[in-house]
Amino acid sequence: MITERGFSLIEVLVALFILIFAVLGTMGLLTSNISNTRFAAQITEATTLAQDRLEALKAKPFDDIISANYPAQTALDVNGVNGAGVYTRTTTIDTSVANLKQVAVTVLWAYGGTHTVVLRTVISN
């Protein structure tokens, strides 16, 4: 009786199918993680830009905090440099209440859709 050793073609194909399925699943997870990490970094950068503006406003004299002093900035990078990035920062100052200024800083950017970070504060005289 002759016994043959080795793998049949079907066994090899099944093993290849399982291997390919595992590799594709891992690649899908890796791609998703990279995308999520990039988005998280962009949220952090946008929040930093908004926080920097709020801190700059708080450092100014109360009477200097007016909308005309803070026009919208487009194509900001994370360091606040115009023309070098993907963020748009706008500052809204509401002076309807005496001795109070309600400030909202909005940072927009596009990454798989439009995203927004808004930070608000109230500054008193």
Query: What's the pLDDT at 107?
Result: 95
Give the pLDDT band (50/70/90) at residue 83: low
Q: Which residues contact 52 (CB under 8 A, 6 or more apart)?
A: 80
Residue pLDDT, tens place only, 84-124 = 578 999 999 999 999 999 999 999 998 888 999 999 999 99
Residue 3 has pLDDT above 80, yes or no: no
Task: State the pLDDT at residue 93.
Answer: 94
Res. 7: pLDDT tops 80: no
19-77 pLDDT tens trace: 998 888 888 888 777 878 888 888 999 999 999 999 999 999 999 998 888 888 877 77
Give pLDDT, residue 114: 92
Token pair of 108 as six digits: 């927009």
The beta-carbon contacts of 39-48 under 8 Å, at least 24 apart in sequence, are 39/111, 39/112, 42/109, 42/111, 42/115, 43/115, 43/117, 45/78, 45/87, 46/87, 46/107, 46/109, 46/115, 46/117, 47/107, 47/117, 47/119, 48/78
Q: Name the phi and psi angles at 49, rounded to 5.
A: -60, -40
Here the tokens at position 32 are 């998703």
